[in-house]
Amino acid sequence: MTPLILASASPTRARLLSAAGVTFEIAPAAVDEEAFKSNWLRKEYVATDMALGLAEEKAKSAGTAWPGKIMLGCDQLLVLGGELISKCATQNDALVLLRRLRARAHELFTAAVLTLDGEMIWHHADCCRLTMRDFSDAFLSEYVSRSADAMTRSVGCYELEGPGIQLFDRVDGDFFSILGLPLLPLLEELRRLGILKR
């Protein structure tokens, strides 16, 4: 049985791990993300620290049922002009957000944490900067009709590995982190832990 448990329901993270040849099981964490963020927003926050804190919370929450297993918790935050943006609940909300993101740059903060029996044993965070192009309303309507599922699945209402790439002028940062998992640093740590061969 694998020693690694992915505490996330994200199909993209699972795909990335599988494609890299990592054996793992999935046990999505039950964490109230909005309540967690709300507590952080009551004080002066740093987005990287919030993403790491939420990733750790997810790993620890899911790990209670998996003693002796290494839990992988992940989180991603989008910040637009200093404002923390949450996932959209509906396609209409996503349309409104994409109009706000159009012709502007935003930051994606991606964090991954490994815990063992409730203790954090590794963490990594990245910040990527993405700039959307000034796309037309006609393009946006077509994108929304083709990408309805992706709109509420990712925090920015786009999946860069699909048609969402057409929304952008410029992407600065690690591609895997933009997809939601800092894969290369994680693989190096899994080799160090002996889960993967060196």
Per annotation, catalytic residue among 32, 75, 117, 169: 75
Rounded to whole angstroms, the Cα distance separating 93 from 197 reads 45
The domain over range 4-192 is classified in CATH as 3.30.565.10: no
**Domain boundary assignment for the chain:** 4-192
The predicted structure's pLDDT at residue 86: 85
Percentage of residues in the chain having pLDDT higher than 70: 93
For residue range 14-70, what is the model confidence (pLDDT) as tens digits? 999 999 999 999 999 887 667 766 666 656 667 888 899 999 999 998 888 899 999
**Is residue 124's pLDDT more than 90?**
yes
Rounded to whole angstroms, the Cα distance separating 102 from 96 reads 10
Q: Would you call 75 a catalytic residue per the annotation?
A: yes
Nearest to 72 by CA among 197, 154, 185, 151: 185
Whole-number mean pLDDT of the chain? 90
